[in-house]
């Protein structure tokens, strides 16, 4: 009897993150607000509202990509936000938004963020003025550098190797000082996926027990919840979105 060899797991370094299809990704996910964005924004806004306005000196957005709303959400509580991104296309988009002004399509996202958190600056431009685009990936993080860290659709969307997913989550936790706080979102049970008709990007399907198994030994005050599958998005094969808050002990 012969068996087909199992295809090798695609690891983070196997994908060309410089070639991330920013325009198609924005078109599929962020040109207008989807129900899952509303859910993530409500969740993350609640996290940031626990802090006095301007009381966080340094925040991280890990694997920022071209998504501006996690950056907006941090701008009420945080005085300085590092948007760490390994991909040149994602960084170029972010820099353009900061230097030339954000595209109008982001305004409804900011209106929602500000309606939930009046500590946010009056304009989106003022909020984004706190953002610094930093080249690099999770492997470049310095232990304990940040007071808060946020990660959205990254650890489970950039590798097929569960060990590497775990290492990425570990680096995320260790990026904050002891007592530092974490907020994150993950696609639930998403297999490797395509954006438009482009190449397949590596992903690692995770559910709530898997997330708890990774974060419980590394954090305290761990809270997870989920959002129902968003059928207004393209079919990525996911079953919803997982949300997380925690603290580094």
Ligand X SMILES: C[S@@+](CC[C@H](N)C(=O)[O-])C[C@H]1O[C@@H](n2cnc3c(N)ncnc32)[C@H](O)[C@@H]1O
Smallest separation, CB 43 to ligand X (Å): 13
User: What is the C-alpha separation between 149 and 56, in angstroms, rounded?
Assistant: 11
Of residues 20 and 215, the one with the C-beta less far from ligand X: 20
Of residues 4 and 143, the one with the C-beta less far from ligand X: 143
Of residues 17 and 215, the one with the C-beta less far from ligand X: 17
Q: Which stretch binds ligand X (CB under 6 A): 41-49, 74-82, 108-116, 146-154?
A: 146-154
Site for ligand X in 180-239 (CB under 6 A): none
Phi, psi of 178 (to 5 degrees): -55, 130
Q: Which stretch binds ligand X (CB under 6 A): 47-55, 150-158, 173-181, 241-249?
A: 150-158
Tokens of residue 122, six digits: 């009056």
Helix (H) or strand (E) holding 247: strand 240-247
Phi, psi of 223 (to 5 degrees): -130, 130
The answer to whether 101 and 68 have CB atoms below 8 angstroms apart is no
The residue whose Cβ lies closest to ligand X is 65
User: What is the C-alpha separation between 242 and 240, in angstroms, rounded?
Assistant: 7
Question: Radius of gyration over alpha carbons of the chain, in Å?
Answer: 17
Q: Which one of residues 39, 65, 76, 102 is an interface residue with ligand X (CB under 6 A)?
A: 65
Give which of 14, 52, 28, 49 is closest to 195, Cα–Cα. Answer: 28
Q: Which one of residues 157, 166, 192, 245 is an interface residue with ligand X (CB under 6 A)?
A: 157
Decide: is 109 part of the binding site for ligand X (CB under 6 A).
no
Residues near ligand X (CB under 6 A): 12, 17, 20, 62-65, 67, 85-87, 90, 137-138, 152-154, 157-158
């Amino acid at each position: 009897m012969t068996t087909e060899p199992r295809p090798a797991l695609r690891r983070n370094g196997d994908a060309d993150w410089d070639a991330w299809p920013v325009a198609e990704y924005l078109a599929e996910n962020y040109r207008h607000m989807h129900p899952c964005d509303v859910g993530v924004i409500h969740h993350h806004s609640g996290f940031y509202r626990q802090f006095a306005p301007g009381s966080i000196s340094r925040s991280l957005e890990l694997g920022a990509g071209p998504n501006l709303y996690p950056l907006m959400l941090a701008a009420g509580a945080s005085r300085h936000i590092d948007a760490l991104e390994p991909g040149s296309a994602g960084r170029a988009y972010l820099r353009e938004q900061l230097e030339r002004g954000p595209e109008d399509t982001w305004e409804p996202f900011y209106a929602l963020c500000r309606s939930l958190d009046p500590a946010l600056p009056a304009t989106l431009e003022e909020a984004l003025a706190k953002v610094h685009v930093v080249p690099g990936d999770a492997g470049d993080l310095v232990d304990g550098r940040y007071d808060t860290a946020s990660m959205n659709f990254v650890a489970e969307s950039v590798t097929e190797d569960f060990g590497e997913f775990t290492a990425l989550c570990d680096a995320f936790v260790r990026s904050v000082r002891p007592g530092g706080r974490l907020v994150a979102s993950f696609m639930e049970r998403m297999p490797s996926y395509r954006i438009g008709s482009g190449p397949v990007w590596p992903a690692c399907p995770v559910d709530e027990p898997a997330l708890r198994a990774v974060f419980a030994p590394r954090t305290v005050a761990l809270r997870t919840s989920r959002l129902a599958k968003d059928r207004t998005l393209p079919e990525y094969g996911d079953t919803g979105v997982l949300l997380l808050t925690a603290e580094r002990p």
